[in-house]
Amino acid sequence: MITLYLAEDQSMLSSALAQLLNLEDDLKVLGTSGDGQTAWLDINRLKPDIAILDIEMPKATGLDVADDILAAHLATKVIILTTFAQKAYFARAVKAKVSGYLLKDSPSDDLVTAIRNVMTGQTIYDPELVRNMVNAADNPLSDQEMVVLKSAADGDTTKEIAEKLFLSNGTVRNYLSAIFSKLGVHNRLEAVNMAKNNKWF
Amino acid sequence: MITLYLAEDQSMLSSALAQLLNLEDDLKVLGTSGDGQTAWLDINRLKPDIAILDIEMPKATGLDVADDILAAHLATKVIILTTFAQKAYFARAVKAKVSGYLLKDSPSDDLVTAIRNVMTGQTIYDPELVRNMVNAADNPLSDQEMVVLKSAADGDTTKEIAEKLFLSNGTVRNYLSAIFSKLGVHNRLEAVNMAKNNKWF
DNA sequence: GAATAGGGATGACAAATGTCACATGATTCA
DNA sequence: TGAATCATGTGACATTTGTCATCCCTATTC
């Protein structure tokens, strides 16, 4: 019997999957939750064989939970189940040594198969993911630049950014200029769009 | 026996729901698809009792499909199943005389209940939706203003917007200024953020 | 100890942006 | 018919943005 835990903030999917998985003779869902925080508490308590984690959830992401599981040396294996084939997400997942990374646009049968395969020690990455990885852009921005860009993304003016970050007006403009040149764009909106499309935030 | 059609572009959810619904004695899923165009073709051919439609899908939205169904005077009833409790979406759904509007963060059992209730002639709106409707902002922008804002949202500069829309530079700036004043903001980025948050695009 | 790189800052400049007041022709509505 | 409204445009203005060259200070490295 393989025991499972399901963390997914979309109830429709979460409840549907839980019911389906429980129909399988060899699978048992020990619990579910809709946010990363309770997910981690539950997992640490219930110690399921496999935790199926969505990435974008309230309070803590599935990747945060995966980190926690790794740090606590639990035997629980992790399958990430997400909409997003983003390089950055995938890279973090690999660092957290997850056993599987599935996309929500594969059918639910794939999840069942993945669960059984992961249980035998295999590592499962969605093939579409690997394709997307190739032409995905790496984030070329420094930490500081990202902070500036994030603030700009909120619609903050140069002056407001400068005040928030305790920098001078000119410095902020320099940072933005450097950001644009790195990204090959010429204004804030384009830079923000690019960052959002690549999920750099 | 209630016959169903399922249009949902996220395979994981679509396949899971289809399996679950088919487990019910009185329900039968005639078909599924992941885009609005094939959904409409299938529905017109299969004439299910109820079509369950996601809104945001490739090629045509669920609301487009609902319009088609209404225009063709099919007996098929429509249940919209979406992530978004947006005023604009809901208003369009009501205009298309849909029989139900459910959010994906309600459990799948709710969907089953809704299907049976809709079949008896009831109209089902997610209660959370009604709550969200109250404090949701209406889009105060004119069509032309929306076009301008959309272009700006792509990162286009004033000049580029003017060229695209065959307007003078000054006119575009006037439009943007009017937009900002209506929205209570002071630059493009803020305006775009507000529009995106309210799903005005 | 000199060279180098990186974070932060200045000053200067051109261009873009945001704001206003106002003009004109077309449409709508009383 | 006349008033009101709307879409579009102009000109003028103050600010903000984006770009660049250059500078200072502090680590880091050879």
Nearest to B16 among A17, A185, A188 (CB): A17
pLDDT, tens only, A42-87:
999 999 999 999 999 999 999 999 999 999 999 999 999 999 888 8
Dihedral over Cα of B124, B127, B130, B132: its sign: negative
Dihedral over Cα of B115, B119, B125, B127: its sign: negative
Furthest-apart CA pair in chain A: how many Å? 65
- Give SS3 for B52: strand
Tokens of A100: 């599987």
Q: What value does the mean pLDDT of chain A take?
A: 93
Is residue A138 within 8 A of residue A181, CB to CB? The reply is: no
- What is the percent of chain A where pLDDT is above 90? 78
* Mean pLDDT confidence for B4-9: 97
pLDDT, tens only, B78-123:
999 999 888 878 888 998 999 999 999 999 999 999 999 999 999 9
* Mean pLDDT confidence for A129-147: 79
pLDDT of the residue at A134: 64
Chain B contact residues (CB < 8 Å to A): 9-17, 19-20, 34, 81, 83, 103-109, 111, 152-155, 157, 185-190, 192-193
Q: How many CB atoms lie within 10 A of CB B103?
A: 21
Over 80: is that where the pLDDT of A184 sits? yes
Nucleotide nearest to B186 (CA to C1'): C18
Tokens of B85: 């409790």
pLDDT of the residue at B26: 96
Smallest Cα–Cα separation from B10: which of A105, A109, A20, A82?
A105
A174 beta carbon < 7 A from strand D?
yes
> Which residues of chain A lie closer than 8 angstroms to B19, CB-CB?
20, 108
Question: Taking CB atoms and an 8 Å limit, are B10 and A105 in contact across chains?
Answer: yes
CA B180 to C1' C21 (Å) is 18
More confident residue, A6 or B165: A6
Task: Give the confidence band of B200 by pLDDT, cuts at 50, 70, 90.
Answer: confident
- What is the percent of chain B where pLDDT is above 90? 77
Over 70: is that where the pLDDT of B135 sits? no
pLDDT of the residue at A73: 97
Let me know if B195 is exposed, middle or buried by CB neighbors in 10 A (0-12, 13-18, 19+).
buried
Over 80: is that where the pLDDT of A34 sits? yes
Over 70: is that where the pLDDT of A8 sits? yes
pLDDT of the residue at B137: 66
pLDDT of the residue at A36: 97
